[in-house]
Structure 1
């Protein structure tokens, strides 16, 4: 199954081969003006987070399943993400798609 959300945060518990299975993610960065000021708030370190104890819904995540608080982002429309494709960074789970708008 294809998705338009590419997760490079391979140490995230919800990441499976570059796809996110959190069902819904939240990108934070209320006053962000650059990418490093954003982050995926749904990121859970796979070594510290046990999915077998997770009570939330699991499913493939697409951009329409992203809540975004980065109000300065060009793609943020009323708290949702309007980008065609989104990439989450591998090092610190920042939103690489963020564009100041």
Structure 2
């Protein structure tokens, strides 16, 4: 079952009404032990990123479009996110869904 990716990072260029519209999400934090050690590598600051130079997806990003390098996360299955629901934090773009194995 796939679910939309909720994004509270209101300053991200791909955030539209708290839903992500990036074509693919990449969560980083290979050795993360806690949530703040993860981050959305796909984040682009809306004040400095020009979407007109990017072939933007018109589809909502879902959990099947998320790759994850957080090896210690219970939802990381061979580099893909297996969570039903994912939240990205607005303050530091961390993956709030991260759960230590």
Taking structure 1 as the reference length, the TM-score comes to 0.93
- Aligned to 2:36, the other structure's residue is in SS state helix
Which ranges of structure 1 fall in alignment gaps of 5 or more residues? none
CA distance, structure 2, for counterparts of residue 99 and residue 85 of structure 1: 12
Q: What is the CA deviation profile of residues 4-51 of structure 1, one whole-angstrom value per residue up to 9, with x for unaligned ones?
A: 311000100000001101021000000000000000000000000000
The total of aligned residue pairs comes to: 98
RMSD across aligned C-alpha pairs, in angstroms?
1.0
CA distance, structure 2, for counterparts of residue 82 and residue 25 of structure 1: 13
CA distance, structure 2, for counterparts of residue 4 and residue 74 of structure 1: 19
The runs of at least 4 consecutive aligned structure 1 residues that moved more than 6 Å come to: none
Question: In structure 2, what is the equivalent of residue 96 of structure 1?
Answer: 96
Taking structure 2 as the reference length, the TM-score comes to 0.93
CA distance, structure 2, for counterparts of residue 4 and residue 65 of structure 1: 10
CA distance, structure 2, for counterparts of residue 4 and residue 16 of structure 1: 12
Contact kept in structure 1, 2:4 and 2:60, CA below 8 Å? no
